[in-house]
Structure 1
Amino acid sequence: MKIQAVDIGRTASAASIIFDALRKAIIEGDLKDGEPLRQDELAKMFNTSRIPVREALTRLEQHGLVRTVRYKGAVVAGLSADEAAEIFDFRALLEGEVIARAVPLMTPSILAEARGYCDAFHDSGDPMEWGDLNRKFHATLYAAANLPYHMKVINSAMDQIDRYLRAQLLLSKGMERANKEHLAILAACEAGESEKARRLTQQHILGAKASLIDHLK
């Protein structure tokens, strides 16, 4: 398995470290859909017992990244086109509301930080960076709303589709369109146009949904 393992045999937060390492590997596509996650093998890789491994796998299952299969145990969870479509529809509703509530509270420093991520997204030639920069751009704008529970749900939804989005951006050459849409969303935020930011964010997410569903099919 392709995971950045560390020796955590004496670490109190072993389960959290395993969770973070597996989550990163799944999101970035190093662990493929359906790949088995064997507790004994993982415990050996991280030099720990099976207890924190089991806890980490349970948390990953709660996040929708892992599922338990009869006779196989834990495997990396995949998404059907219908499941992916539902997540995108949910994101459009939730993220549209969050950005609309965030716009009146955005400061010049928040907008400048978001523009920095937008520029970095445009300039990056490394597909491995695109997903992270995309998430940081949106999260920076949403954070102004000060809605931590909403953000927790958004991040969980993003975790489930992030690896597909990264592949879609690369295979469908969606970077140019995504960059234009990011710039339009940012301009609406800078102008203080809450409803326009909501509409553009929803269109951005639903456009990505259509492209991704085509890719999955």
Structure 2
Amino acid sequence: MKLKSVDISKTASASAIVFDALRKAIIEGDLKEGEPLRQDEIAQMFNTSRIPVREAISRLEEQGLVKTQRYKGAVVSGLSAQEAQEIFDFRAVLESEVIRRAVPHMSPSSLAQAKDCLEAFSQSADPMTWGELNRDFHSTLYRESGLQYHMDVIDNAMDRVDSYLRAQLVLSNGNERANAEHLAIWEACVAGDADLAASHTRDHITGACNTLLETLNSLD
């Protein structure tokens, strides 16, 4: 199993550490769709018992990253076109409203930080960094809304689609369009135009969804 192990035998938060490691491996594609998560093997890798491993897998299942199959046990979840459409429709509604609320509270420092994230994304040639850099850009802007619960929900939704988005960007050469759309969102924020920032964000997410669905359909 391709997973970075940690000795957590004396760590109180063993379940959280296993959860974070598994979640990261799934999002980054190190653990593939359908790959089984064998509790004994994972427990041995982390030098812990099966109890925190089972707790971590249960949390992953709650987030939709893992599912339980008959005779196989816990495996990494896939993503159907219908599920992708639902997640992106939800994100388009939620994230456009969050950034609308955030714009009036954006400071020069937060805008400068978002610009740094934007430039880091546009300059990166490593697909493995794109998901995290994309999140950094959006979350830096959303943070000013003060809507932490909304941001936690957005994070969970992004967990479900991150690896697919990265594949979509690679297969469709979508980075150039994503860069242009990120810049348009940032410029609307700088101008203090909350409605325009919301509109650009909604269009950005909807466009990514359409391209992802085309990619998923082409792989069928």
Structure 1 residue identity aligned to 2:195: E
Counterpart of 1:48 in structure 2 is 48
Query: What is the deviation of 1:71?
Result: 1.2
Structure 2 residue identity aligned to 1:159: D
Counterpart of 1:88 in structure 2 is 88
Deviations 1:153-199 (A, max 9, x none): 00000000001001111111000000000000000000000000000
Counterpart of 1:137 in structure 2 is 137
Task: Give the SS at the match of 1:144.
Answer: helix
Structure 1 residue identity aligned to 2:168: Q
TM-score by length of 2: 0.98
The count of aligned residue pairs is 217
Structure 1 residue identity aligned to 2:123: D
Counterpart of 1:65 in structure 2 is 65
Counterpart of 1:98 in structure 2 is 98
Query: 1 CA distance for matches of 2:16 and 2:101?
Result: 32
Q: Which runs of 4+ in 1 moved over 2 A?
A: none
Identical aligned residues as a percent: 66
Q: Are 2:17 and 1:2 equivalent residues in the alignment?
A: no
Query: 1 CA distance for matches of 2:47 and 2:215?
Result: 39
Structure 1 residue identity aligned to 2:128: M
Deviations 1:43-88 (A, max 9, x none): 1111110000000000101111001111111000111001001000
Counterpart of 1:31 in structure 2 is 31
Structure 2 residue identity aligned to 1:150: H
Q: Are 2:148 and 1:148 equivalent residues in the alignment?
A: yes
Task: Give the SS at the match of 1:67.
Answer: strand
Structure 1 residue identity aligned to 2:68: T
Deviations 1:76-135 (A, max 9, x none): 011100100100000000000000000000000000000000011111111111111000
Counterpart of 1:108 in structure 2 is 108
Query: 2 CA distance for matches of 1:9 and 1:214?
Result: 45
Query: What is the deviation of 1:10?
Result: 1.2
- Computed over aligned residues only, the root mean square deviation of the Cα atoms, in angstroms, reads 0.5
